[in-house]
Amino acid sequence: MTILTRLEHWKDQGAISPEQEVFLAGLCRGEPLSLFLELNVLLYAGVLAFVAGLGWTVATWSKQLGDVLVLAVLSIILTVCFWYCFSRAPAWSRAQTPAPTVIFDYVLYLGCLVWCLELAYLENRFQVLSGQWDFYLLATAILFFFLAYRFDNRFVLSLALSSLAGWFGLTISRWQFHQDATYRQCALLYCVVIGIGAVLLERRGLKPHFFGTYLNIAANVAFWAVLSGMFDRQGSWLWSFALFVACGASLAWGIKRRQFVFVAYAAVYGYVGFSWILLRNVNDATVAMLYFVITAVAMLVALVRIARRFGKSA
């Protein structure tokens, strides 16, 4: 029985009104077909291409164009973007608020990315802060947090979190194991700061829908930091204990809040970490294979049990 037949049946039963049936059947047939997602993707790609071209042009032609022209153009774009956002934004609310216009979010993205370009240009040309990039990152993070909360924008929140990570000495996209222990400490400190911040903001009811973004980023950075500590061999038992605690917390949170992504983090990061500890001194391929067969089957059984409990709701 297709969905169209079911709708007809429900209409005959009186479970849905004829108008509802017509509307829902139209949606099934793609009448009308919504291009909402496609148009948003085009806008995002357009902003990204524009800023990439702007950065490339400035980088290549800055000498010919001159500092005044480059800074004037970047400042004008920046001012127009932020003027647009502040003039169109509705009154601030603690709760989730929709964007006032179609292009609002994209103008805000453009402004934020141009801000990054302009700061980079200023520092590279004039060394205003004598290469103290961490101050730029901190200032940028503060600005982006403000904009994210003012305009209720997850993309800008992610920019703010990555800037803050940069300030903490974390280059998320270029993370490698076996780096200096300081990086791990910075990563854990970063997780603690954004974790506590997220909890406080959520408790105060300030954009509580942002909480998931904070928590996902904090969980991933914490797991990577702990895993890198385990791979370092020095003090690996301490890191093993930390991984055990992190996995337990993630699992408990995932099950309690029915957010399976945290159960998945606990399963995958925990399996990788503990397998490393148990297998690092094993040279026999048969033992290693046997270990993987037994433990992976055990994980499958455990996860299927959890899945049955969760169903498809998470």
Partner 1 sequence: MRIYSAASEETLRARKLLKDWHGEGLLSEAQYKLFEQETVSELRTTNVFLRIVLFFFTLIVVAAVGGLFGVTFLRGSSDQTLGIFLVIYAGVCYWAAEIAVSQARLYRYGIEEALAVCSVVCLSLGILLAFFSSYWGRQSGIRSLVPAAGAIASLWIWHRFGLWYAFPSAMVFALYAPDAWASSPAARHVLVALLYAIGLICVIAVRSRHRLDYLERDYSLAEAFLWLGIYLVLNLQLSSLNLRALWVVGGMGAASEFPGWFYWTTWVLIWCVPLVVLARGIRQKDRFVMAVGTTVLILTLVTNKPYLGWPRYTWDPMLLGILLIGGALFIRRWLARGPGGVRAGFTAARLSGKDKQWLNATSAVLGLVTPQSITSSPQTTSADFRFGGGASGGGGAGGDY
Contact residues for 266 (Cβ-Cβ < 8 A; gap 6+)? 246, 247, 248, 250, 251, 254
State the minimum distance, in angstroms, from the CB of residue 200 to partner 1: 20
Piece of 75-83, 87-95, 152-160, 228-236 that binds partner 1 (CB under 8 A): 152-160
Spatial distance between the Cα atoms of 174 and 261, rounded to a whole number of angstroms: 23
| Shortest Cβ 140–partner 1 spacing (Å) | 3
For 265, the token pair is 């983090």
* Alpha-carbon distances of 49 from 43, 55, 56, 110, 247, rounded to whole Å: 10, 10, 10, 10, 40
Q: Which is nearer to partner 1, 237 or 308 (CB)?
A: 308
Which tokens hold the place of 260?
Answer: 């399976």
Q: Does 60 bind partner 1 (CB under 8 A)?
A: yes
Residues 69-98 touching partner 1, rule: CB under 8 A, are: none
> Cβ of residue 137: shortest distance to partner 1, in angstroms?
6
Q: What is the smallest separation between the CB atom of 285 and partner 1, expressed in angstroms?
A: 5
Q: Is 42 in the site for partner 1 (CB under 8 A)?
A: yes
Q: What token pair was written down for 81?
A: 């973007």
Closer residue to partner 1 (CB): 136 or 239: 136
Nearer to partner 1, 53 or 235 (CB): 53
Q: Among residue numbers 130 through 149, which ones bind partner 1 (CB under 8 A)?
A: 131, 133-134, 136-137, 139-141, 143-144
With respect to partner 1, which residue has the nearer C-beta, 27 or 238?
A: 27
Of the candidate spans 12-20, 86-94, 230-238, 244-252, the one that interacts with partner 1 by CB under 8 A turns out to be 12-20
Angle at 218 between CA 214 and CA 224, to 5 degrees: 150
Find out whether 196 and 214 touch, Cβ atoms under 8 Å.
no
CB of 11 to partner 1, least distance (A): 12
Q: Is 182 exposed, middle or buried (0-12, 13-18, 19+ CB in 10 A)?
A: exposed
263 binds partner 1 (CB under 8 A): yes
C-alpha span between 175 and 173 (Å, rounded): 6
By CB under 8 A, which span of 75-83, 194-202, 227-235, 281-289 interacts with partner 1? 281-289
**What are 25's two structure tokens?**
């059947």
Q: Does the footprint of partner 1 cover residue 66 (CB under 8 A)?
A: no
What own/partner pairs with CB < 8 Å and gap ≥ 24 does 268-271 have? 269/223, 269/226, 269/227, 269/243, 270/243, 270/244, 271/295, 271/299
Q: Does residue 198 interact with partner 1 by CB under 8 A?
A: no
Q: How far is the CB of 269 from partner 1 (least distance, A)?
A: 11
